[in-house]
Structure 1
Amino acid sequence: MARPPDLGRRRALLDALVAEVGANGIGDRSLRDLATAVGTSHRMLLHHFGSRDELLLAIVGEVERRQMALSRELPEDPAEAVAAMWANLRRPDLRPFERLFFECYARGVQGEQPFARMLPGAVDAWLAQDQNGDPAMMRLGLAVARGLLLDLVATEDLAGVDAAAAAFAELVRAAYRRR
């Protein structure tokens, strides 16, 4: 009978893996390479995460969890919240995670398991963060942020996406002034 994974050790490995991927990316790195980088064996990664694909989902999920925690600290003014969130999302140290998110998301949209499991939670979890707001505006903000992030990881045109994010914040400001 297989022993259940030690959740404390899994958490420590996940934290180490997030730090490693943030520092060195993931690309097509093998489980062996990742394991060596975080001071464990590929067998331990398999024990705690099941497969490389499950490990990728765990990393994406952890980064999303951290981003959602930050979203609870945003300013109450919607336009200021958009600007503050964008200031966080545009950080260069998040780029490896953004690339990984879009890879996993695209694989999920194609129905590939286990990635399909992250859908529709990748949207619904964010919408659930804003209990008192306008769900359509929240969805629009999420779509704009993700679209700009996809543009950024594809083009590295930081000035262009920053200008677009600022324009969106101004559109939000104008929309809420009219209310």
Structure 2
Amino acid sequence: MAEAGYRRSAGSARGQARQQELLERVADDLAVNGLVDFSLRRAARAAGTTHKVLLYHFESVDDLLAQAILRLRGQRIESAFAAAARLPTLAARVGALWTTLAGEQSRVLDQAIGLVMYDPVRYAELGRSASRDYLPTLLALCPEAWSEERKREVSELILATLRGFLVAWLTGGDTVGVEAGFKALFRALEREEADGL
């Protein structure tokens, strides 16, 4: 909720353009510096404005943070799909997807998963929206001939597995375990794809 005395942008084209400009600057700062010590004042410095201006355009610091994370997530999903879509097999597509997920923007987005675990009430929507955001891309990477149910099942498996790999990699630096897990995942996906032909 915005502080008393501030009013949010009424949604004019000019107000929306300004809001997107501010959001882009804050998201750029998050991509470089991560979520540690994120505050309204830091966001204002990054955006080149005051905290009052940010509260004019966003409901609260949580709203601003969530929108910036969603922007970064959207960019990562677009990059992942572009890298994966042109490859010939589902296993290869998932490999390319992982390379993007573990790339430059992974730190802040994976810190966001930590927020969800740390304060599930306050940040629950960030966790729920992650599945909604990633699943369409995974569904699109599945073979076209598969039924919608099969695409959904395999996509959910991939999503859960990649999340587990990210947690293992980020919290323990377990690259050996992640590599071993990927070999097993690739074999499973290759069998799944072969069974579907």
- Written as runs of structure 1 = structure 2, the 5 A alignment for 1:28-67 is 28-67=37-76
Deviations 1:95-135 (A, max 9, x none): 122112x0343367x3x24x333453322333233254511
Q: Give the Cα separation in 1 of the matches to 2:63 and 2:89.
A: 37
Unaligned 5+ runs, structure 2: 1-5
Q: 1:119 to 1:86 in 2, by over 3 A?
A: closer
Partner in structure 2 of residue 126 of structure 1: 134
Shift of 1:93: 4.1
Contact 1:148 1:161 in 2 (8 A): yes
- Normalising by structure 2, report the TM-score: 0.75
Q: Which secondary structure state, in structure 1, belongs to the residue aligned with residue 54 of structure 2?
A: helix
Bigger Rg over Cα: 2
Shift of 1:76: 4.7
Q: 1:54 to 1:104 in 2, by over 3 A?
A: farther
List structure 1 segments (4+ residues) > 4 angstroms apart after TM superposition: none
Q: Give the Cα separation in 2 of the matches to 1:162 and 1:14.
A: 36
Partner in structure 2 of residue 155 of structure 1: 172
- Written as runs of structure 1 = structure 2, the 5 A alignment for 1:1-179 is 2=7, 3-4=9-10, 6-73=15-82, 74=84, 75-100=87-112, 102-106=113-117, 110=120, 112-113=121-122, 115-118=123-126, 120-129=128-137, 130=139, 132=144, 134-179=151-196
- Normalising by structure 1, report the TM-score: 0.82
Shift of 1:83: 0.3
Shift of 1:139: 0.7
Q: 1:163 to 1:63 in 2, by over 3 A?
A: farther
Q: Give the Cα separation in 2 of the matches to 1:146 and 1:15.
A: 26
Q: 1:51 to 1:166 in 2, by over 3 A?
A: farther
Q: 1:116 to 1:93 in 2, by over 3 A?
A: closer
Q: Give the Cα separation in 2 of the matches to 1:48 and 1:91.
A: 31
Unaligned 5+ runs, structure 1: none
Q: Residue type of the partner of 1:44?
A: V
Shift of 1:147: 1.4
Aligned residues: 175
Contact 2:26 2:47 in 1 (8 A): yes
Partner in structure 1 of residue 3 of structure 2: none
Q: Which secondary structure state, in structure 1, belongs to the residue aligned with residue 37 of structure 2?
A: coil
Shift of 1:157: 3.1
Q: Give me the CA root mean square deviation.
A: 2.5
Q: Which sits farther off after the overlay, 78-87 or 125-134?
A: 125-134
